[in-house]
Chain A
């Protein structure tokens, strides 16, 4: 057989393999959308395709229908997890390494009982963090050349081996689709399955970005950094209780640099909730570290 035939067969087998873990999610009016088998009884899908609270159905590659309930949803990242009454799914295989720009990928969907559907292209960009059209913060996302056909939201982006690289959705950017990579989507999916929601950290501060005086960077060149000036503290809030003062400049949280308020959002992951977290500040021009017990954002 020729190389082209091998290549074509490779793509077809990738679709066949990944198609087994791609399910139909019937949770809205009009046409159904897609989902990914996260575990034997869990389906990860896009939050925006789940518009009903009850009477949800998941249908598998074999055409078998299962009643499902909402285990949890996170509108900020447009992810939702559905739970089936029985352990009937074969969890989708996840790729061992993250997607790379230029990589050949396939977008799969199962919006009808006629079978799995596919489109292909390359990964064109890795981006983030960015605010989505819903207002929430998405830490990382992929742009691809694949075509987001109707009902593809919630379905997987897979590599040429059929291993999942991310979840496709058109719910975060009007008129186009993007892919939430596995390293962002899976932890959120697991938190949704476990807790029903994604916890987010809270410091109880309001800040404004400010430019810091020039300092000398590691390379010896002058660098101008930005920090976040604390302009308001919640009385008795986590930051105030730890001794932070209005006028302090935040420069880092939990070892991550913060120069934009979105960096605080990104740094206050669910893992920080309830734990003492090192917050680096500038007070009177001098660097200090304060341990703040991060609360949960309500």
Chain B
């Protein structure tokens, strides 16, 4: 028997997930909660199912202490996977349009200590962010352009985005790498192996 606990904000969503899980007789929903606070059912559960909003809230400082209980997050297309790898727990990422069969399979997999998710979600980016440090894929792309000496305007034209957006990314790169100019940013990127040569 796999015990599942739900932390979904909306009654309709909760009812829907219950219905999807009903297809697998080995899965029982043992509790529902507004958040992942440390209650009886939280301790007893094998797998938590929650929305990405609930997961983000739970990560806030002062929240629950980290648990090794497997967690399945729904609707988490924009979640940074490194946060999940850092938690040392089995996890799953599923889109909101998940089918009953997929959800039940994911619950079984996470209960068995595995990591699951649709191919497109896990293959986007390179798993643990290895090879790009704290930078996003777009920032790495822009850092690569900086290394050839292009100006913001030229990078914008090449990538088909506005100059303002390029400026935004460049300043985010500066902040993340604690540097003050392009030369240092490129040097830092090369030293760490984030720029593809």
A residues near B (Cβ < 8 Å) are: 74-78, 131-137, 200, 202-209, 229, 231-232, 234, 260-262, 264-265, 268, 297
Q: Is B186 an interface residue (CB 8 A)?
A: yes
Which single member of B148, B151, B190 contacts A262 (CB below 8 Å)? B190
Pairwise interchain contact B150-A206, C-beta atoms closer than 8 A: no
Pairwise interchain contact B196-A234, C-beta atoms closer than 8 A: yes
Which single member of B126, B147, B194, B197 contacts A135 (CB below 8 Å)? B147
Q: What are the 4 closest A-B residue pairs judged by CB atoms, nearest first?
A: A136-B149, A76-B149, A261-B190, A135-B182
Given contacts A136-B148, A207-B193, A208-B193, 8 further A-B contacts (CB under 8 A): A132-B149, A134-B151, A135-B148, A206-B195, A209-B191, A231-B130, A231-B131, A261-B191
Task: Mark out the residues of chain B between 151 and 194 whose CB falls within 8 Å of any chain A CB in the assembled complex.
Answer: 151, 154, 181-183, 185-187, 190-194
Task: Mark out the residues of chain B between 125 and 143 whose CB falls within 8 Å of any chain A CB in the assembled complex.
Answer: 126, 130-131
Pairwise interchain contact A232-B196, C-beta atoms closer than 8 A: yes
Pairwise interchain contact A135-B196, C-beta atoms closer than 8 A: no
Which single member of B150, B193, B196 contacts A76 (CB below 8 Å)? B150
B residues near A (Cβ < 8 Å) are: 126, 130-131, 146-151, 154, 181-183, 185-187, 190-197
Q: How far is the CB of B180 from chain A (nearest CB, A)?
A: 11
Closest to A237 in B: B196
Pairwise interchain contact B183-A131, C-beta atoms closer than 8 A: yes
Contacts of A135 in B (CB 8 A): 146-150, 182-183, 185-186
Pairwise interchain contact A136-B147, C-beta atoms closer than 8 A: yes
Q: How far is the CB of B31 from chain A (nearest CB, A)?
A: 43
Report if A207-B149 is in contact (Cβ < 8 Å); known contacts: A134-B182, A261-B191: no
Q: How far is the CB of B111 from chain A (nearest CB, A)?
A: 33
Which single member of B146, B150, B192 contacts A208 (CB below 8 Å)? B192
Which single member of B182, B187, B194 contacts A133 (CB below 8 Å)? B182
Pairwise interchain contact B181-A133, C-beta atoms closer than 8 A: yes
Pairwise interchain contact B151-A75, C-beta atoms closer than 8 A: yes
Contacts of A74 in B (CB 8 A): 149
